[in-house]
Structures are given as C-alpha cells and as structure tokens.
Amino acid sequence: MLSSRIGILGGGQLGLMLLQAAIDWNLDIHILDPDAEAPCRKIAPKFTQGSLQDYDTVYEFGKDLDVITIEIEKVNVEALEALEKEGKLIYPQPSVIRKIQDKRIQKQFYLEKQLPTADFVLTENREDVRNFIDFLPAFHKLGRDGYDGRGVQRVSSEAEIDKAFDQPGLLEKAVPFEKELAVIVARNPSGEIKCFPTVEMVFHPELNLVEYLFAPAEISDEIDQKAQEIARKTAESFEIVGLLAVELFLTADGEVLINEVAPRPHNSGHHTIRANATSQYEQHWRAILDLPLGSTAAYAPSAMVNLLGEDGFEGPAVYEGMEKLLATEQVFPFLYWKAITKPFRKMGHITIMDNNIAALKEKVDFVKKSIRVISGDPHK
Amino acid sequence: MLSSRIGILGGGQLGLMLLQAAIDWNLDIHILDPDAEAPCRKIAPKFTQGSLQDYDTVYEFGKDLDVITIEIEKVNVEALEALEKEGKLIYPQPSVIRKIQDKRIQKQFYLEKQLPTADFVLTENREDVRNFIDFLPAFHKLGRDGYDGRGVQRVSSEAEIDKAFDQPGLLEKAVPFEKELAVIVARNPSGEIKCFPTVEMVFHPELNLVEYLFAPAEISDEIDQKAQEIARKTAESFEIVGLLAVELFLTADGEVLINEVAPRPHNSGHHTIRANATSQYEQHWRAILDLPLGSTAAYAPSAMVNLLGEDGFEGPAVYEGMEKLLATEQVFPFLYWKAITKPFRKMGHITIMDNNIAALKEKVDFVKKSIRVISGDPHK
C-alpha cells in the first residue's frame, strides 16, 4: 500500500500538512487544486491545476491513480463514484462525502442512526423559514457549500428572517451550549477505530472561526467518555475510511450533541503534529492505506491558535512577531505558504505546549498578542 | 530572516529532513545535488542538478541566494568563500568546513584548543606508517574524503600496514573505549548555544556504521556533564553557526575524548524529529537564521535503528515488514526516497520511543528482526 499512487483533491493547508506527513513514508502524492498559488504548489511532487468540481477534470486526475482522498468536501462526487466503480480506492468513500456535503442529508442521517444532534427542520427557501417562527432562535444553515463560518446565519426572531438564506437549508434550534468540543476519529478499511483526545474549541465571537483550542478539553471524565463514544459511533455509522472530525456541543445540562462533521483532517487537529505521538495527518494516511492506526496519546497539554490575516491588510504577507514566538519554549508556528494575506484569511496556526495548564493559557495570551499577519515587503 | 532565499548543498536524506522541517515556516529552499534521483528531488521547491565540488557550479547556485548551508562536507569551499566575501551568509562558515573536511587539520585543531582527543600522528603515505609501529594498534584515517565508514582502517600490527591508505592521513591510537557517545550542539550567530541530550551509539561490528542508538545514553550524570561540556566547548572553539555533531569515545577509565565532528545534521540526531520538542533539523534552521534556539527536551527515552539495504539485494527497493512496525506503538519508520536499494545502503531509519527502557530495548530487537529492505517490484 505504501507504493500506491495517491491523489489528494485540494492543495490547501490541510493538503500541505498531509504532504509533510507523507514524506516519512516516501508516499507518491499527486495534488489537484484550481489555484496555481495553492499552498501545496511548491512542495507537491506532482501538482495539477484544475477544478475540483468539474467531472472531467477530477476523473482525468484520478484515472491513473490507485487511492484518492480529499482535503475539502466540495468536490465532484460523480467523478469519484465513476472512479470507485473502476476499482480505485476512494477514501473517504463518495457515499460518505455525498451525505456530508449536504447538511440536510447529514442531519437526517443522525436522526436515522439515533445519533444525538440539535433539533432541526428543513427549509426550502427564505419564505419557508416563516413557517417555523416558534422554532426561533435558531441557526439557519445552507444545505450545501457552507464552509468556515460561511453558510451559517443566526436568526433570533421573526424580524431577522431576512437574514436567512433563500436556498434549501435547515433551521437548527439554537442550543444554549456551555462548550464546543471536537473529537477526531480515524477508521481504516479493516474497521479499526481510534479517537484523538477530546478538544475544546473557543470561537471568535464575531467570525464564527475557531480562535483557539485546548487539548485535552476541560470536562469531566463522564462527559469526555460520552463525547468519545458519540464520535466513535458516528464514524461507525458512516462506515467511513479515513478521518472524521466530529464537532460537538456540550449543553448546560450535560448533553453532548453533534454539531457537524468533516470527513478529513480538521482545524481542530493541527496541534496533534507537535503534541501527539501520531498526528491527524499521519493517522489519515494510516487509515486510508489500511495500515494499523497509530497511538493518539498526547505528550503534554496543548493549545492551538489560528493565525488570521489582520483586518485592514491585504497584500504580500509579513509575519510580525515570529521571533518572539520562537523565543518561547514549546511554541511552534506553522505557516501555510500563502503569499498574500487578506483580512481574517487563515495564514497559519501556532501550537503551544506546556505541562502546566495555567502556564499554557498564559502562553496562549502571549502568543495572541505577539503575532500579527500584515502586508508589506516580506524581504525588508 | 524567514523570507531569505536559502540554498542547501546536497540533496540526500539530511537535506530531505531539513526540507520537511522547513515546511512549517514556509522557507524558500533551493537544493543543489549531482544526482537527478537525489532524495530531495521530488520535494524540493527548487532543485538544481550539479556538482558540489565544482567551483563554478557552486558559485552560480549561490549567487542569487541569501543564506547557504550544507548537508555534506565534501563541497567546494573556495566557491563558498567567494560567496561569503560578497556578503552571503554561509553557515557553517567556510573556515569551519575547511577545518573539518581534513581530519588532519581537525585533529590538530583539537590539540591547539586543548580539546580532549585520542593521541595521533600525521602520516604522508603508506610507507610513512611504518615509522610508527610502536603506535599500533591504531586506526589509519584518510585526511580527506572519508565518509560513513569509508576512509578508516584498523591497523593492528606491522603485518597489517598494507591495509593503510597510501595518501596523507593520520594514525590514531586505538582507544579501548567502553561506549561511543554523541552530542549535537547548535550555535546561532548571536552566540546562543544549546546541546541535545547525549546519545549512545551502537556500531555494526563489521560495517563501521551506526547500527542503533539510544537516547539518553546510559551513563552517569558526571560523564554526561563532561560530554555536554566538551561538545559545547568544541562548538565555541570552532565558533560554528549551525549544528555541530560531536562524536565521542568514553574510555574504560571515564575519560571522554572527541572522535570526530560533523558541521551539519547528523545520523545520531534523527530520533529528535519524533522524540524531542525541537528536532535537530528545526534547530539547524533556527541557528543559521539567527533565531532563538528551541528546547531540546525529550518526551521519552528513544532509540534509532538505521535501515540498511539487505546484503545480496540490488534494485528497486521493497520494504518488507513495514506493516508490522506500524502496528507497534510509537515505532516511526522514515524512508529516504531512494528508489534503488544496494547492500548496506542507508535507506531509512526507525525511531522507537518508550517510557520504559527495558520495553524500549525489546522494541529495538523486534524492529531489527521485523524489517528488511530487499529488491523486487514495489508495486506488487
């Protein structure tokens, strides 16, 4: 399996970290991405520029490969299904991608499999939302193409219904949650399953992006077990091969509900590169190549801070304060090979480790105020 | 400094691991190597095929770069000196490479700086060795171009003098050592120095290649301190910028002597990728880019096994037993992107970690008997 010709649909930062992990095993990786300046461009042994959503492009890319995986869900599933029929290994399976691509199908799947999730109703368009006024406050979510905080809109009351999307979506009851958690699960074709330790995500109040993350989550053993159990059961229900990132709500009364899932490496697992025996990226390779899964044990408590482009700056990226970070023990910046910064663009992340939780949190504060991605002349 | 254009002379496995570490910081790396099939070839953002020993090739490669480093000492130092005069940063400095390239100069440098090393005499040719019969048993070492066990010959008695090299070399008294140790030191232009924990090397009895390695070395605190102190003092004496791998003999009576040094990442530091907070590769970048040096703390005791091509096999490499290794907790194979195996060729290494030393050693035995690099059809 290690000598397979492997394709990744998508050459963004997740692809880049998959590539970095693949170096250890001399994996033969081919990348498809529409952007000539994609993060993977310079590092990928083979890079094809092309649309991920065009049937012919995806089919042509895959037809001489053995194993195909994704780092983004928004891909042409029909082409992957055709390749699967020809005997290619497509992991995650097209059937899984199809279910997850559409949040409406995803949510119905949870109901069907008796997996806990917030109450919801399907809506066909903006007008339709008016039929569920007693369901508010709620989040209106686009069925398809939502990503990274896009495609989700809070609708608190009738007066806000004009904020709802005018496309097929779903209205999900706003759950008064205490915490947002995430568990990344890996499953290989032999059915072996391993979960990474539960993490706690802290969201940016306005941008709906993970601002930082703690691992392990500060929760009781009981809640932790519940979260791990749900994540495992979700991966089993999908029968996924590869990684499944399961985002969860912990409610005030100790309920754990699935928010949504992603069938690939995830923002909530970047810290595993530094902090865990096996990273989520290596684990993904193990899973899809039908190898034994690696230990997910953590070496120390850790945190992860997303490094976003500073508001008000657009142009060649300059990383202000990197040296300060590198002068702090066990602070590990990772940059995403994006030449151009834009306001709130994900430009990198920083993993922070410390055996002492209080010291860890102090380091997080220090990191957040020490580094900025602005535009300027990188060579100055 | 992170936006410097950086060149590496050499694109072998050390270059590959430097490249892998450079991904985190989006470093702009250019590789020069004579071999179109060099390990770095497919991963390097920029790869130039050309001789490392030809003045013009090295000069042309370096003239549009800002920082140049090496992963092998056998390079054209005159070209590096010319580039240095033009204001390029060459780390390690050409003056250091020059001293280390020639073992005769290296050994005299230790004497001059009062650094402990085994007694030696310089010899001009094979005949000359006859003048030092009372110095035997000794090791005859080639002054230049020795590498990976080549260029060293044991001469036990007068009858064996025909084994000596017929070129300028040195005769080093065979030290009855108990252990071979190594300490990798990093030093940046600001003069900051950090040592990795002392490791213990176990050599293959016939091949004079590191067969496996334990970290930390099983030695008393006193010996450990002595080894660390010598390594630090050696780096300071050379005033090196970058990594210096210091190989040491521990004699039966507790003396610690310098065997030889390498001004670059080293075989005795591969395990730091997995086992230490900062790897030797990341530390090299920190050092030569004048960044603060990282923590060298280890997460757990570790071992490293070199993966050599099996005797009797030459051809496309097949890694027998990889799956068995990957099924064992905290066993991490790293392959060197060499398509062709040859007897005893370095094809990869395996890092093994365990908090329990006895279990660690058992895993080493298991690893050594579980994996073989043979030739065959990799796609079968």
CATH code, domain with A145: 3.30.1490.20
| B74 marked among binding-site residues | no
Domain contains B114: no
Question: Tell me, what CATH number does B209's domain have?
Answer: 3.30.470.20
Rounded CA-CA distance B117/B109 in Å is: 10
Verify whether the Cβ–Cβ distance A336 to B26 is below 8 Å.
yes
Q: Give phi and psi for A123, each to the nearest 5.
A: -130, 145
Q: What is the pLDDT of residue B289?
A: 97
Rounded CA-CA distance A64/A51 in Å is: 17
Q: Are A271 and A335 contained in the same domain? A: yes
| pLDDT tens track for B176-212 | 889 999 999 999 999 999 999 999 988 777 766 667 9
Rounded CA-CA distance A237/A141 in Å is: 23
Residue that is last in its domain, among B90, B108, B138:
B90
Q: Which of A113-117, A209-213, B220-224, B230-234 has the lowest mean pLDDT?
A: A209-213
Q: Are A242 and A292 contained in the same domain? A: yes
Q: Calculate how close chain A gets to B62, using CA atoms only, in Å.
A: 18
Q: Are B128 and B232 contained in the same domain? A: no
Residue that is last in its domain, among B38, B69, B90:
B90
Parent domain of A148: 119-173
Q: Are B286 and B229 contained in the same domain? A: yes
Domain contains B85: yes
Extended beta strands in A161-239, E state = 169-173, 177-187, 193-195, 199-203, 210-215
Q: What is the pLDDT of residue A148?
A: 60
Q: What is the pLDDT of residue A210?
A: 66
Residue A151 binned pLDDT confidence (cut-offs 50, 70, 90):
confident
Q: Are B164 and B184 contained in the same domain? A: no
Average pLDDT over residues B48-62: 98
Q: What is the pLDDT of residue B202?
A: 81
Q: Are B33 and B130 contained in the same domain? A: no
CB distance from A137 to chain B under 8 Å? no
CB distance from A339 to chain B under 8 Å? no
Judge whether residue A60 has pLDDT over 80.
yes
Domain contains B62: yes
Q: Are A126 and A272 contained in the same domain? A: no
Question: Tell me, what CATH number does B74's domain have?
Answer: 3.40.50.20
Judge whether residue A262 has pLDDT over 70.
yes
- Helices (H), ranges, chain A: 13-22, 55-62, 77-85, 94-101, 103-112, 126-129, 221-238, 272-275, 280-288, 322-326, 357-370
Instruction: Give the mean pLDDT of chain B.
Output: 94
Q: What is the ipTM of this complex?
A: 0.94
Rounded CA-CA distance B27/B29 in Å is: 6
Verify whether the Cβ–Cβ distance B330 to A295 is below 8 Å.
yes
Residues of chain B positioned with their CB less than 8 A from the CB of A334: 24-25
Domain contains A162: yes
Rounded CA-CA distance B188/B194 in Å is: 9
Q: Are B125 and B84 contained in the same domain? A: no
Q: Are B211 and B298 contained in the same domain? A: yes
| B256 marked among binding-site residues | no
Q: What is the pLDDT of residue B360?
A: 95
Q: How many domains does chain A have?
A: 3
Verify whether the Cβ–Cβ distance B329 to A277 is below 8 Å.
yes
Q: Which of A 278-297 lie inside 8 A of B, CB atoms?
A: 286, 291-292, 294-295
Domain contains A42: yes
Q: What is the pLDDT of residue A202?
A: 81
Q: Are A137 and A70 contained in the same domain? A: no
Rounded CA-CA distance B349/B145 in Å is: 24
Instruction: Give the mean pLDDT of chain A.
Output: 94
- Nearest CB neighbour to A45, from listed B2, B20, B42: B42
Domain contains B349: yes
Bridge partners, residue A349, by sequence: A306, A334
Residue A372 binned pLDDT confidence (cut-offs 50, 70, 90):
very high
| pLDDT tens track for A314-362 | 999 999 999 999 999 999 999 999 999 999 999 999 999 999 999 999 9
Nearest to B71 by CA among B43, B91, B55: B91
Q: Are B254 and B306 contained in the same domain? A: yes
Judge whether residue B83 has pLDDT over 90.
yes
Domain contains B101: no
Residue B148 binned pLDDT confidence (cut-offs 50, 70, 90):
low
Domain contains B112: no
Q: What is the pLDDT of residue B106?
A: 95
Residue that is last in its domain, among B104, B139, B173:
B173
Q: Are A257 and A307 contained in the same domain? A: yes
